[in-house]
């Protein structure tokens, strides 16, 4: 089945170019000039990935990304922006985006990024397995097979990147993992992901699962090593934790 890509950008020419490239790459392409019908398109068409421009009239892409994640939608999102500032990348990732591509860009690069995100979602280490167990911690229930993180009867939305990172951490509970090892486990050989992205995703996961994100007890920092997932929330020695 051809995967559906929803492109939301107010640039008419760019929409045409991306539609042509993505169609040739084997995708079905949906186009929107703004976010006015975004919720309707997600509900009606269930896209496999959303390409979302940051700077648009009316609601901008960052606000739309926040709104989509608040709906507990975990559809992968790639942000586009003419502003190539580090802070913009960080904000986009913190809001739940899976990748961030600065403008101008070669459409072939975006196609490659889309393929990488979809590949990570379905086939990277940390992807759900039918025989995976269910992990319970901090009053939460994490089921890799269904890609769901539940608190009581409420589902907590996870982006593709957040799911892969959390799965890598829980599968190696109580074992400190260096950032490069987490990159390998959660993102495969995707060279565009870096240590800073791991730190941003850890920060976001802490806000989702920790009782006190400023003093994390489940995803702890191990100085000189990286991060460790502690299922019972018992703090490690002070010199090892953040």
For residue 201, the model assigns a pLDDT of 84
Cβ burial of 172 (10 Å; 0-12, 13-18, 19+) is middle
Q: Token match 């186009």: residue?
A: 31
Helix 12-24 vs helix 107-123: crossing angle, to nearest 10 = 50
Laid out side by side, the sheet with 4-8 consists of 28-32, 4-8, 49-53, 77-81, 99-102
Question: Which pLDDT score is estimated for 86?
Answer: 64
Structural fold of domain 135-240: Arc Repressor Mutant, subunit A (1.10.10)
**Cis before 104 (ω within 30):** yes
Q: Which two tokens stand for residue 35?
A: 């976010």
Question: For the domain 4-123, what is the CATH superfamily, name and number?
Answer: Response regulator (3.40.50.2300)
The CA–CA distances, whole Å, from 237 to 3, 71, 217, 220, 234 equal 48, 38, 12, 11, 10
Where do you find CATH 1.10.10.10 in the chain?
135-240
Burial class for 31, CB neighbours closer than 10 Å (0-12, 13-18, 19+): middle
**Torsion, Cα of 61, 202, 124, 224 (10° steps):** 140
List per-residue pLDDT tens for the chain, 242 residues long: 789 999 999 999 999 999 999 999 999 999 999 999 999 999 899 899 999 999 898 899 999 998 888 875 678 899 998 866 666 677 777 777 888 888 888 999 999 989 988 887 664 333 333 344 788 888 888 988 888 898 888 888 888 778 888 988 988 888 888 888 887 777 654 444 555 678 888 888 999 899 898 889 999 988 777 888 988 877 655 434 44
pLDDT score for 95: 79
* Ranges of CATH 3.40.50.2300 domains, the chain: 4-123
User: Which pLDDT score, from 0 to 100, does residue 236 have?
Assistant: 56
Strand (E) or helix (H) holding 207: helix 195-209
What does the pLDDT read at residue 162?
Answer: 84
């Amino acid at each position: 089945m051809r995967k559906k890509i929803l492109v939301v950008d107010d640039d008419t020419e760019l929409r045409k170019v991306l539609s042509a490239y993505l169609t040739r790459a084997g995708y079905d392409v949906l186009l929107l000039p703004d976010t006015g019908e975004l919720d309707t398109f997600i509900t009606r068409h269930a896209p496999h990935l959303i390409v979302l421009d940051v700077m648009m009239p009316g609601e901008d892409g960052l606000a739309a990304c926040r709104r989509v994640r608040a709906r507990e939608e975990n559809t992968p999102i790639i942000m586009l922006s003419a502003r190539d500032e580090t802070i913009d990348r960080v904000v986009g990732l913190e809001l739940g985006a899976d990748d961030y591509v600065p403008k101008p860009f070669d459409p072939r690069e975006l196609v490659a990024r889309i393929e990488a995100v979809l590949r990570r979602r379905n086939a990277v280490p940390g992807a759900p397995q039918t025989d995976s167990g269910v992990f319970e911690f901090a009053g939460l229930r994490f089921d890799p097979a269904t890609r769901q993180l539940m608190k009581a009867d409420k589902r907590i939305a996870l982006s593709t990147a957040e799911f892969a990172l959390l799965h890598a951490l829980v599968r190696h509970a109580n074992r400190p993992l260096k950032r490069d090892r987490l990159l390998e486990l959660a993102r495969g050989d995707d060279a565009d992901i870096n240590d800073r992205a791991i730190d941003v995703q850890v920060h976001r996961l802490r806000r989702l699962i920790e009782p006190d994100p400023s003093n994390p007890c489940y995803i702890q920092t191990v100085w000189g090593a990286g991060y460790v997932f502690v299922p019972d929330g018992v703090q490690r020695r002070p010199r090892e934790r953040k």
